[in-house]
Amino acid sequence: MGGGADGWDDGSLPFWERENATPPAKPRTPPKDHDGHRDRLRERFASAGPDALADYELLELLLFRFIPRRDTKPIAKALLARFGTLEDVLNAPADLLTEVDGIGDATALDIRVVTAVNQRAFRASLRSREILSSWSAVVDYCHASMAHETREQFRILFLDRRNALIADEVQQVGTVNHTPVYPREVMGRALALSASALVLVHNHPSGDPNPSRADIEMTKTLVGVAEALGIQIHDHLIIGRNGHFSFRAQQLL
């Protein structure tokens, strides 16, 4: 006779086969439409600007593009609950992002791309400026680039005679609490780029930007070698998650 409740048993099979047969998968019901909420959020952003939105709402706007068929509000809130701040979310490693329900490998990669684009644009803006007159922008850029790294990096900003940025390079990557620095390599690269001045930067994954004794001694060594070559070291910045330490400002340089 006619089909069962699922509409798949048309009576054409013997009863012993019908009893054990697996019904075909039901057509997937399209996810709930969240267009109304998304449109309202977009309109609020367009009319009132980003300051009118909470952090989770800005994150929602971003996730709309990456996860078009899901309600992204709980995902945005879960990301902030897991990592703490919007900055921490955008700088989180991809493998940790995927630990949050709703974030797959593709979405984690998309978030990392957004972070990379932001950092690249930040760096490009520095190239058009005289570094010493844009010092807060330099510090902000270094913080955005390094504060959330899980291993120490030693970075150098190479400057020309006008103190404009020639190159920004990570010279060494170390462990969670140490990065080897080789003065010969630092100065060799500076000479190859015809740099007249340097800004040294490294991060402390622990979050505490205060220098160690080794940091102080290493800086003194680099300053001495640089002076012998006619190269000026403007500053050595140590970047922590919640702040930075300037050797110049603390009169250690």
pLDDT value, residue 141 = 85
What is the DSSP pairing of strand 232-240 with strand 243-246? antiparallel
pLDDT tens digits, one per residue of 192-217: 999 999 999 999 998 899 999 999 99
CA distance 86 to 243: 17
CA distance 150 to 156: 18
CA distance 166 to 127: 7
**C-alpha 48: how far from its chain's center?**
26
Domain for residue 227, yes or no? Answer: yes
Domain for residue 22, yes or no? Answer: no
Phi, psi of 237 (to 5 degrees): -100, 135
Contact call for residues 234 and 199 (beta carbons, < 8 A): yes
Q: How confident is the model at residue 160 (pLDDT cuts 50, 70, 90)?
A: very high
Domain for residue 92, yes or no? Answer: yes
pLDDT value, residue 21 = 54
What's the whole-number mean pLDDT along residues 158-175? 89
On the 0-12 / 13-18 / 19+ scale of CB atoms within 10 A, 63 is: buried
- Two tokens, residue 140: 């902000």
Which amino acid appears at position 240 of this protein? G
Same domain, 86 and 168: no
pLDDT value, residue 8 = 42
Q: How confident is the model at residue 84 (pLDDT cuts 50, 70, 90)?
A: confident
Domain for residue 74, yes or no? Answer: yes
Same domain, 106 and 193: no
Q: How confident is the model at residue 51 (pLDDT cuts 50, 70, 90)?
A: confident
Domain for residue 2, yes or no? Answer: no
pLDDT value, residue 207 = 87
pLDDT value, residue 7 = 41
Phi, psi of 173 (to 5 degrees): -125, 130
pLDDT value, residue 34 = 61
pLDDT value, residue 4 = 43
| Better pLDDT: 124 or 235 | 235
Last residue of one domain, picked from the residues 84, 119, 154: 119
CATH number assigned to the domain comprising residue 96: 1.10.150.20
- Two tokens, residue 121: 């644009």
pLDDT tens digits, one per residue of 15-45: 445 455 555 555 444 445 566 788 888 888 8
How much is the pTM?
0.63
> Is 60 exceeded by the pLDDT of residue 222?
yes
Question: How do the residues of the chain divide into helix, strand and coil, expressed in percent and rounded to 5?
Answer: 50, 15, 35
pLDDT value, residue 50 = 86
Order of strands across the sheet that contains 153-159: 165-173, 153-159, 197-203, 232-240, 243-246
Question: Can you give the residue range of the structural domain that contains 176?
Answer: 131-246
CA distance 112 to 210: 29
CATH number assigned to the domain comprising residue 156: 3.40.140.10
pLDDT value, residue 5 = 41
Mean pLDDT of the chain: 83
> Is 80 exceeded by the pLDDT of residue 244?
yes
> Is 60 exceeded by the pLDDT of residue 11?
no
For the chain, the farthest-separated pair of C-alpha atoms sits apart, in whole angstroms, at 98
Domain for residue 190, yes or no? Answer: yes
Q: How confident is the model at residue 138 (pLDDT cuts 50, 70, 90)?
A: confident
At residue 251, the 3 state secondary structure works out as: coil
Determine what percent of the chain is predicted with pLDDT higher than 90.
Answer: 42
pLDDT value, residue 1 = 44
On the 0-12 / 13-18 / 19+ scale of CB atoms within 10 A, 213 is: exposed
